[in-house]
Structure 1
């Protein structure tokens, strides 16, 4: 019987400085490009890329509000 195993792996692809400042401490914002790989029974399924934003001073993850 095959055990169904599903996991998610994140790998950092690159970093660069983003515009703006942290609303909490006023520090610089850094954009991190992340490749996400879903695995099902050790077979890779997809490789979506996401961009996450962090403050370089207080290390908080910042979320953009798109209106």
Structure 2
């Protein structure tokens, strides 16, 4: 007996726009991207989520935003 799970994650960029600030590594411009990810099981969509990711346009590093309270 063989049991196979066919799962797939599809990501696509929905919106791209410039973000305020500069890259702490190279000083380049930061770009905000809204990325929609969708998990599928046997071609049936199970879960969909939209995330905002930040990238530098010069060095192409993914930047992480840290919020401070107080």
TM-score, length-scaled by structure 1: 0.90
- Deviating beyond 4 angstroms after TM superposition, the runs of 4 or more aligned structure 1 residues are none
Which residue in the other structure is 1:51 paired with? 52
| 1:26 partnered with 2:35 | no
Give 1:3 shift. 2.6
Q: CA RMSD in A?
A: 1.3
Which residue in the other structure is 1:66 paired with? 67
CA distance in 2, matches of 1:7, 1:66: 32
TM-score, length-scaled by structure 2: 0.87
Structure 1 regions of 5+ residues with no counterpart? none
Q: Deviations over 1:23-65 (max 9, x none)?
A: 0000110001100000011101121100100001111110111
Structure 2 regions of 5+ residues with no counterpart? none
Larger radius of gyration: 2
CA distance in 2, matches of 1:58, 1:2: 43
